[in-house]
Amino acid sequence: MRYAVLSDIHGNLEALTAVLEACRAERVDRYLCLGDIVGYGAQPSACLERLAALEAVVVSGNHEQACLGMLDPGWFNEAARAAILWTREQLSFGDLDRLRRYPLTCMEEPFTLVHATLPRPERFDYLVELGQAVDTLTACRTLMCLAGHTHQACFVEFDRPARRVLRVLTAPEALREVAYEDEPVTRRYLLNPGSVGQPRDGDPRAGFAVVDTAQARLGVRRVPYDVAAAQRRIREAGLPPFLADRLAAGR
Ligand SMILES: [Fe+2]
């Protein structure tokens, strides 16, 4: 099976459209989405519809939780808070119903999906230290944990019985083609595919990952998209201009 792993789309339909085109070219069989489909960008409903049409497996992100009133908007910075309040107004009852059905974690063998970290997905901690990766990998009950939230791609290989980190990959060239061992007893892997709709690693192109479970190979991809069109929609919607500016910088 070839899986597409998408995270942090953030209402950016232009980026999502480019990514889905690339996924079709790569003959992806199934779509996995790690949350934050909405927030920041100007087309939250359209992004939710596209994922529903693909029958994607979806977990909830902090932006979904905030739109549902499960997370205090005070938790967010000013621009994010403004975007959440705007997004709430845009979502239909059907959209909100959809958001309510997304769990915080889910298992789709050999994957565990979560927006941020395990074992406390509801905290939406940013995984920035190796110790957090170890906690997540220790709590993960499947071969691979898929997590987003930081908007930066990474891959961690963990020796489960020895509780030892064997590999950490963050450089784009290292993430392009990664072989892993399908050894669910001895290995655990963490994959963050980066962000579709608001990359924060200095590369404005949309990011996602493809995992080929038959070949035990995965890769992080970057595809160009119409950034100017996404920026125009954000400005026309009256969202904070900073949210448009940052797309061009990939920050
Ligand atoms: Fe996000």
Backbone angles phi, psi at 212, to 5 degrees: -105, 105
From CA 165, how far away is CA 127, in angstroms rounded? Answer: 15
How close is the Cα of 5 to the center of ligand 1, in Å? 14
Per-residue confidence (pLDDT) for residue 246, from 0 to 100: 97
How close is the Cα of 234 to the center of ligand 1, in Å? 16
How close is the Cα of 117 to the center of ligand 1, in Å? 13
Per-residue confidence (pLDDT) for residue 84, from 0 to 100: 96
How close is the Cα of 90 to the center of ligand 1, in Å? 18
How close is the Cα of 168 to the center of ligand 1, in Å? 22
From CA 1, how far away is CA 10, in angstroms rounded? Answer: 27
Q: Which parts of the chain sit beneath pLDDT 50? A: none
Q: Specify the CATH number for 2-249; select among 3.60.21.10, 3.50.50.60, 3.40.50.80, 3.40.50.920.
A: 3.60.21.10
How close is the Cα of 20 to the center of ligand 1, in Å? 19
How close is the Cα of 138 to the center of ligand 1, in Å? 24
* pLDDT single digits (tens) 150-175: 999 999 999 999 999 999 999 999 99
* pLDDT single digits (tens) 87-100: 999 999 999 999 99
In this structure, which amino acid lies at residue 161? P
The structural domains of the chain, with segments of one domain joined by +, span: 2-249
How close is the Cα of 177 to the center of ligand 1, in Å? 24
How close is the Cα of 159 to the center of ligand 1, in Å? 29
Residue among 134, 172, 130 at smallest CA distance from 153: 172
Residue 226 in tokens: 């119409």
How close is the Cα of 185 to the center of ligand 1, in Å? 31
Per-residue confidence (pLDDT) for residue 73, from 0 to 100: 85
